Amino acid sequence: MTEEAQDRPYSKALNQLRDAGLRPTRQRLALAKLLFDRGDRHVTAEILHEEAVASGAYVSLATVYNTLHQFTDVGLLREVVVDSGCAYFDTNITDHYHFFYEEDSRLEDVPSEMVTIHNLPQPPAGNDISRVDVVIRVRSSNGA
């Protein structure tokens, strides 16, 4: 990491992209900044696109989709499946689980240390576990 990494506005995102082997284009930098500068986030393509447009970055929705998948492919993001019909991307790529607030379709991280899973069954011979997803679905107590 170079010395100016800490003080240039886009340098953090820039280094992330360089390290991942992705060419740091204007659009990728803008999206990386929105994604990674504010701590852990859970975004959909649509949300991120709105934010990008609102921030003055002219990125098309198609590019947002492509970029989210590229970031996921290189390990900068993780896709979380909680809803058939809407893909969520999580900037927290460490091992962890999720609360899913069904009423407002919102995700929240649950550190993996907070849940203890024992006796996880082995998959049939010839298979490996690639990931264990735990989603704790939550609704407000007093009716919808």
Partner DNA sequence: ATTTGTGCAAATCGTTTGCATCTGA
Partner DNA sequence: TCAGATGCAAACGATTTGCACAAAT
Contact code string over 36-75 relative to a copy of itself, x by CB under 8 A? ----------------------------------------
Verify binding: residue 28, DNA, rule CB under 7 A.
yes
> Of 52, 49, 116, nearest to 132 (Cα)?
116
Partner whose footprint covers residue 62, from DNA, a copy of itself, none (CB < 5 to 8 Å by kind): DNA
> Of 47, 53, 8, 7, nearest to 30 (Cα)?
53
Verify binding: residue 62, DNA, rule CB under 7 A.
yes
Q: Which of 60, 94, 105, 140 binds DNA (CB under 7 A)?
A: 60
Are 72 and 87 spatial neighbours (Cβ–Cβ below 8 Å)? no
H/E stretch holding 108 reads strand 106-111
Verify binding: residue 96, DNA, rule CB under 7 A.
no
Verify binding: residue 87, DNA, rule CB under 7 A.
yes
Residue 87: left (phi > 0), alpha (psi -120 to 50), or beta? Answer: beta
Q: Which residues bind DNA (CB under 7 A)?
A: 22-28, 44-46, 58-63, 65-67, 69, 84-87
